A and B are shown apart, each in its own frame.
Chain A
Amino acid sequence: MRTLALGDLFPDVLHAAQDGSPWALERLYAELAPAVAGYLRVQRAPEPEDLVSEVFLGVFRGLSAFRGTEQQFRSWVFTIAHRRLVDERRRAARRPFMEPVRVELSTPGGDVEREAIDSLGQQWVVSVCAQLSTDQRTVLLLRVIADLSITEVARATGKTVGAVKALQRRAIEVLRRRLVREKVLL
């Protein structure tokens, strides 16, 4: 499991964020926003960046009520992100389908080759994960990207621990078959 980013600093950062310090809020956002964005992106959420902002607005609104450790904070943030994603999917299902126009903006002066490889790698990861069922993909991403435990995933998704175990096992089997079929050597 990934080591906690803030570690011993987390209580102070959290306290400062609860008091409204901009630096603390930015620190919490910087720590968790990339993972939340990755989770939403691989889940093929429409406008994942906008959704990330909505997630953190919700997080910061409820921050004063939060009590817990850094891992619990992480689990809470991803629970909010997952629910926002579900809400967004329901909302999207009710409105007519419109293919989003994706405009990739590269940072001027950046490593274009590296970004291209990353983009290709990300597209491939997204396409492979698309082979999974929604539940399998959700469990896999919460375990891998969000670094949540089985219990935390079960709590975030409203499933039992046994169901989460079965889903993650089947997800790995699907991935293995897909990768063997493509003879991918990473």
Chain B
Amino acid sequence: MTWRGHLPDERGLPPIDDATAETLLTGGEVRADLEPVAAFLRALRDTARRRVAPGARLAAYMAGGYGRRASAAHRSGVPSAGARPRPLTTARLVAWASVGGLVVATLGTATAGFAGVLPEPAQQRFEVVVRTVTGYHFPEASEDCGAPDHRPGTDDTDVADDARADVDRDRSGRPAGRIPESDRPAPFGARVRDLGPAGPDRDGVVSARARGWAGALSPLGRAGVAGPGDAGPPGTAAGPGGTAADGPPGPAAAAGPAGPGPAGTGPARPPVPPPAADRPGPPVPGGGAPAPGGGPPGAPAGGGR
């Protein structure tokens, strides 16, 4: 039997038990076949007898000693010899808590400062500091939100005026401007057909003031402008024979012939009939839109009372 990988001289070597190994390792007397091993172990021990000079840090540390270790360590950066890990004392806890609190306060102040929610003096001081240190320029409130300029339509008043001017332009074709007192809408209840300059006051319910309004609205009729809501103020109820545009869409306005006559334009209307009256069909777009105060949707046009 041959040991794989071993030379023939290795065959027949007695195994090494724990006791023999212990004797070898402790330098005791061993049998002859183990003498080379014992000699090697002696040489191994000899390698550990060479003196070793300490490094610079260690030499300084040892020369400093414990009595001077604090100052020596401070000078050389070498930690104190024998220094145990410092326990977590109350003072250290307070110190750490203070540092943590300072960090949190700084971050909070910075966040609030950048958000612009600090009190005014503090905010100004913060912006000055940030601008000085970083060069960052905080936008002014006017830059940020937009300065109130006076272009038309940029404030409430102007918007209202513009809207009124647009409405007025649509109605009269005149340039925009404030609506004169005489152009104000007729009071509720006035009927358009009665608002004409010479319209009959058949029902006798049109007040003198309404007639005054009729004078104001008469240019519309004379100009032949027929459109949504043109014939009267919103909410004006259509009486018998009213235009299809006056009231909500109904069967008469939608399908019936809107010719002159009782079912067409009212007698108070100007001689030029509106285009919608010339042809049957759908009402003028938007003419039947339910207006505030107007009749209910689907009420027959010209139904009157």
A-B pair count, CB < 8 Å, reads 160
**Residue A57, interface by CB 8 Å:** yes
Query: How far, in angstroms, from A140 to B44 measured CA to CA in the complex?
Result: 10
Residue contact A29 to B48, C-beta cutoff 8 Å: no
By the criterion of a CB under 8 Å from any partner CB, how many residues of chain B are at the interface? 54
Task: Give a binary string over A118-141; 1 marks a CB under 8 Å from any B CB, 0 the rest.
Answer: 100110111011000000000011
Query: How far, in angstroms, from A50 to B65 measured CA to CA in the complex?
Result: 20
Chain A residue at minimum C-beta to C-beta distance from B58: A53
**Residue B218, interface by CB 8 Å:** no
**Residue A173, interface by CB 8 Å:** yes
Chain A residue at minimum C-beta to C-beta distance from B39: A186
By the criterion of a CB under 8 Å from any partner CB, how many residues of chain A are at the interface? 60
Residue contact B48 to A176, C-beta cutoff 8 Å: no
Counting chain A CB atoms within 10 Å of each CB, the highest count among B45, B50, B52, B79 belongs to B52
Chain A residue at minimum C-beta to C-beta distance from B84: A65
Residue contact B66 to A20, C-beta cutoff 8 Å: yes
A and B contact pairs by CB, cutoff 8 A, 19 listed: A19-B66, A22-B64, A25-B61, A26-B62, A34-B48, A37-B50, A61-B79, A121-B47, A124-B43, A140-B44, A165-B18, A179-B36, A180-B36, A181-B10, A184-B40, A186-B36, A186-B40, A186-B42, A186-B43
| Nearest 4 A/B pairs, CB to CB | A20-B66, A38-B48, A186-B39, A53-B55
- Name A residues whose Cβ lies closer than 8 Å to a Cβ of B: 1, 18-22, 25-26, 29-30, 33-39, 41-42, 49-50, 52-54, 56-57, 60-65, 118, 121-122, 124-126, 128-129, 140-141, 143-145, 165, 168-169, 172-173, 175-177, 179-181, 183-186
